[in-house]
Structure 1
């Protein structure tokens, strides 16, 4: 099976050069669901590009009858971010023009709609698939109005143009998968949303974090929050509906690295998930679920340095810790006419160390590690 490949202009630089997005679209013999998969929204988080490359190679081996619906793949979805450097290190987490996190800029219909309960009341007795079509049309109609400002004389800041380009590719998808890694060093896990625990198990990862509170305007949040809000509104009106609409952020290992094990987990997890959703239909191949450990985002504890100094004796990534056990030490040079001292930092509660900072030199208030 061959892909339909599209190049989409993104930004023209002062030099006259242009940066673009490349979209690989695989379409099955029969119509069905749409899965949208992107990678490298944050500049240092590159492993998802290898995942997408291997998925492209995999889809090319299929017959079009083995795919129902379509899959859109967008590697290196943020070329400005991935090209950003400080010395030899990739940063690319923030837009240098506006100081905004690249994954906190997206348009969220849930924040803008005013008639959700009224809409739900008009749909309460309709078939779920009809409701989905009607609500998606409302979202798309609202989204298309953003183009008017983009094409006006005053135009918009680049983050608004960038988000419009990405969301125009994904807004009508059924399933969105955003491939990330830790900014620093991390385990393989995913973020998921309420009422999607069963599907989460088909990504074949060990850990999942439920987004019970939001950072705001992230790509996955902006996609699914309108649908969650509609589900909640129907619940209040006495009808339970769960739409077959899902958004995922997969965290695949460490930043600035393409760790083979993490890439493999990403590839196998995405393929298994697409089998579960019926987009992939391969003879004698069935999706399997994996038992996972779930935790709430609100229960995650991030540890920041209480003083400046050098981190030493830090527990390894992936360690299970008990409350009161030492997580790390800070070697502090106090410059007050005293000898250097070592401070023990202990765990506030039991948990798993799932993310650690790359830099062992910390200023007061700087991130050190996280425990789920």
Structure 2
């Protein structure tokens, strides 16, 4: 099966050069769900590009009759962030011009809707498919107004134009997968939303974090938050419903690297997810995978209490007990004193899931993250 390939204009630079997205659409011969997958929203987080490349190669070998619906893939979805450099390093997490996190800029319909409960009341006796289509039509109508601002003489900052392009091709998806990696060095895991634990297991990762607190500005949050809010409204009205709409962020390894193991996990997990969700048929799948779940509100970051060099740090993936040593800070001074070594111990039990790449830290800089 060969994809439809589309090129989407993003931005003209001062030099006259132009930036584009490239979208690969694999469309099955049978109707079904729409899956949207993108990578590299943060410039240094490149592993997802290898995942998408391998998924493209895999889907080329799939018969169109075995794909129910559509799979849309957008690698290198943020050219501005990907191309940013500071000597040998690729930061790319923030729009330098606007000082905004590239993954905290997205349009959240719920913040523009004050009549959600009234809509739910009007749909209380409708079936799920009808409710979904009616709600999606309203979201699309409201979202389309962004184009008026973009096209106006005063226009908008680039981040708003950028988010419009990504959301315009993903807004009507059933399943959305955003491929990231740690800014530093991290475990492979999946972020998920409430009541989606069973589907989270399909990705075959060992670790999942429930996003129990969020503001809706991240890509996955902005996509699913309106649907979670509508589920809440129906619950208030005494009707329990859950839409077959899911959003995921896969964190695959370290920044500025394409670790083969992390890439392989991402590819196999997404393939298994597509099979389990009946997007792909007549292919073997894996069931019953065990996964450790934790809540995002139970994450704790450790920041350097003094400037210096990090040494004797516990390894990524270590299960730590309260009171055990996490790391040391070798701290120099300009006070005519000998250097000191400061031991930092864990305040609570937990799993070390993220550690800094740079082991030279100024006071107050990130050293590691623990979840419990």
TM-score by length of 1: 0.99
SS at match of 1:85: coil
Match of 2:348 in 1: 349
C-alpha distance in structure 1 between counterparts of 2:171 and 2:224, whole Å: 10
Q: How much does 1:216 deviate?
A: 4.3
Q: How much does 1:44 deviate?
A: 0.3
Aligned residue runs from structure 1 range 20-35, under 5 A: 20-35=20-35
C-alpha distance in structure 1 between counterparts of 2:312 and 2:139, whole Å: 51
Match of 2:295 in 1: 296
SS at match of 1:5: strand
Q: How much does 1:336 deviate?
A: 1.8
SS at match of 1:81: helix
Match of 1:364 in 2: 363
Match of 2:110 in 1: 110
| Preserved CA contact (<8 Å) 2:216 2:225 | no
Structure 2, unaligned runs of 5 or more: none
- CA offsets per residue over residues 51-75 of structure 1, 9 Å max, x none? 0000000000011001000000000
Q: How much does 1:282 deviate?
A: 1.9
Q: How much does 1:338 deviate?
A: 1.5
Q: 1:67 to 1:287 in 2, by over 3 A?
A: farther
C-alpha distance in structure 1 between counterparts of 2:85 and 2:343, whole Å: 34
Q: How much does 1:96 deviate?
A: 1.1
C-alpha distance in structure 2 between counterparts of 1:215 and 1:92, whole Å: 22
- CA offsets per residue over residues 136-176 of structure 1, 9 Å max, x none? 11110100010000000000000000000000010000000
Match of 2:212 in 1: 212
Match of 1:69 in 2: 69
C-alpha distance in structure 2 between counterparts of 1:183 and 1:5, whole Å: 30
Match of 1:259 in 2: 259
Aligned residue runs from structure 1 range 1-372, under 5 A: 1-214=1-214, 216-283=216-283, 285-372=284-371
| Preserved CA contact (<8 Å) 1:204 1:289 | no
C-alpha distance in structure 2 between counterparts of 1:89 and 1:143, whole Å: 36
SS at match of 1:145: helix
Q: Which runs of 4+ in 1 moved over 4 A?
A: none
Structure 1, unaligned runs of 5 or more: none
C-alpha distance in structure 1 between counterparts of 2:215 and 2:136, whole Å: 24
SS at match of 2:293: strand
C-alpha distance in structure 1 between counterparts of 2:277 and 2:305, whole Å: 46
C-alpha distance in structure 1 between counterparts of 2:305 and 2:239, whole Å: 49
| Preserved CA contact (<8 Å) 1:331 1:342 | yes
C-alpha distance in structure 1 between counterparts of 2:81 and 2:366, whole Å: 21
Q: How much does 1:215 deviate?
A: 5.1
C-alpha distance in structure 2 between counterparts of 1:313 and 1:287, whole Å: 39
C-alpha distance in structure 2 between counterparts of 1:271 and 1:44, whole Å: 24
SS at match of 1:177: strand
Q: How much does 1:97 deviate?
A: 1.1
- The Cα RMSD (Å) is 0.8
> How many residue pairs end up in the alignment?
371
Q: How much does 1:287 deviate?
A: 4.5
C-alpha distance in structure 2 between counterparts of 1:324 and 1:110, whole Å: 43
Q: How much does 1:266 deviate?
A: 0.2
